[in-house]
Amino acid sequence: MKISLVATPAAELPVDALAVAVATGQRLSGAALELDKALGGVLSDMIASAEFRGRIHEVLPVPTHGRSGPRRVILYGVGASHDLDGQRLRSAHHELIRASRTYGYRHIGLLRAEPPLGMDSLKAVVEGCVMGTFERRSRQTGAQPERREIEELVLTGFGIGREHEVVAAQENGEATNRAREWQNAPPNELTPEALAQEALRIAQRHGLEVEVLGPAELRAGGYNLLLGVASGSALPPRLIRLRHRGGQQPGLPTQAGATVLALVGKGITFDSGGISIKPAENMSRMKSDMAGAAAVLSAIDVIAARKLPLDVMAVIAATENMPGPSAQRPGDVLVSADGKTVEIVNTDAEGRLVLADALTHALRNGATHILDLATLTGAAKIAIGHAASAGVSNDDRFWALVERAAKDAGDRVWRLPTFADYRILLRSQIADLRNAEYGEAGTILGGMFIGEFAGGKPWAHLDIAASSWNTNAELTTVLRGPSGAGTRLCIALAELMSGAER
């Protein structure tokens, strides 16, 4: 989809349809009101009569009958202005594009109607529109439902000379869709080795340092928690590391005091639960248990392409969690890569195990700040639902950066407490830690377990178990199915930390 900025008046745009945003209870003003006058007041009449109410995801095409350049005007709702944050704004434009594709429009204009769209809404508008082009890749061999691709999106009223912002926002939207595609890929296709191959392609494209450890290297490095999770699968695990040097010469040591941001992703390409096997119902969705890996892999692709002046690495622990004959058992004790002993209480609490070793690998390679993303706990859905990612952190200043990046990216996060009392629940009678505790604070404990391996560095954890895949039809402003949660946040965090905000 080609996206461009123009200064052409909305009524003169030669497009199939011109989109105009309306908030609930809002009257038309400014350029939108001028357009309405050219159409004989039909838009105001439809709003006044409540034929169109401005509810979020409400989309209504209105014929222009030759009174303007566009053949149709699309009124689209963004909901109540006081509820309109970055996530809802992107969602509204996601649905605008999906509806426009269903109607068969190929050339779309979009008028910045203020309110509800301010000049600072450009990034969210473009990202949301690009995300609306996503389709789940199909393996069906029969005829597919027709949904046309939009060839051109023309934005008016946003000013000119902001093309670099449009390009960056389009990249962010495409990166989110790429993560969604990986989330939705069949697990017999997107295996640990296939994830490694995706990483190698990104490394080759941008000239990044790349390291892929297989079973022999993992044993030599003492990555026994990752190996333990992988032991029940016939597919070998991979520990993947990509590094963007941020202007430093490859092969040279990092300068003393330099910041090195590690984005660490859980890459369980299929999770059966292991010996602590999951119920059969909905187990097919466990193909997306690598959503954290998808987010950091897609993000570093963009970070490297922009040549951000920051040292950033993406570290991915990739494996299946299967109940094969050599699978680890509840009651086993393993020694982690950093030397801590861990009692395996529940083999379905595997994400924190692989991330523990992944954090150690990041620290061994010089990480000074760590953000990990993982579909870690079902408890996250109970705690805060699909509408945000649950977070824990050991550092207020670093969390403030994560929170700011989340706001900029329209990718909500909410920090949970990490009181010292909770740490008691991780104690084991026979090891340094146990990997699960049944009964309470599941999301907090999962994150705190990972934090035990952060080496005292500024660290934050995002549990995207619910936010990465929405199954609740009532939550209309949260993308259904795979969402790519965390992708844009990782990009925004790297930009903030490099001083290259867009």
The residues that are catalytic are 278, 352
**Which phi and psi angles does 485 have, rounded to 5°?**
-55, 135
**What are the φ/ψ torsions at residue 96 (nearest 5 degrees)?**
-60, -45
Rounded Cα–Cα distance for residues 279 and 484 (Å)? 25
Strand segments (E) across 114-259: 152-156, 209-213, 238-244
What are the phi and psi torsion angles at 84 (to 5°)? -85, 100
Characterize 364-373 residue by residue with b for buried, 16 or more Cβ atoms within 10 angstroms of its Cβ, and e for exposed: ebebbbbbbb
Residue 233 and residue 193 in contact, taking contact as beta carbons nearer than 8 Å: no
Structure-token match 């903030």, residue found: 496
In the chain, the amino acid numbered 289 is D
Structure tokens at 331: 């009651």
**In the block, residue with structure tokens 């951000």:** 308
- Residue for token digits 């204009």? 109
Query: What are the structure tokens assigned to 274, written together?
Result: 């292991």
Strand-strand pairing, 17-22 and 107-111: parallel
CA–CA distance, 176 with 181 (Å, rounded to integer): 9
Which DSSP state fits 221?
A: H
CA 405 to chain centre: 12
Helix, strand, or coil here: 265? strand
SS3 content of the chain, % helix, strand, coil (to 5): 35, 20, 45
Distance of CA 348 to the CA centre of its chain: 23
Question: What single letter denotes the amino acid at residue 296?
Answer: V
Taking CA atoms, 247 is separated from 241, 300, 309, 311, in Å, by 18, 15, 6, 8
b/e 459-492 (16+ beta carbons within 10 angstroms → b): bbbbbbbbbbbbeeeeebbbbeebbbbbbbbbbb
Backbone angles phi, psi at 50, to 5 degrees: 65, 20
**422 CB-side CA count, 13 A:** 19
Q: How many CB atoms lie within 10 A of CB 223?
A: 26
CA distance to 270, 416, 418, 424, 437, per residue, from 427 (Å): 28, 20, 15, 5, 9
Task: Tell me how long the chain is.
Answer: 502
Tokens matching residue 401: 């950066």
State how far the Cα of 303 lies from the Cα of 300, in Å rounded to an integer: 5
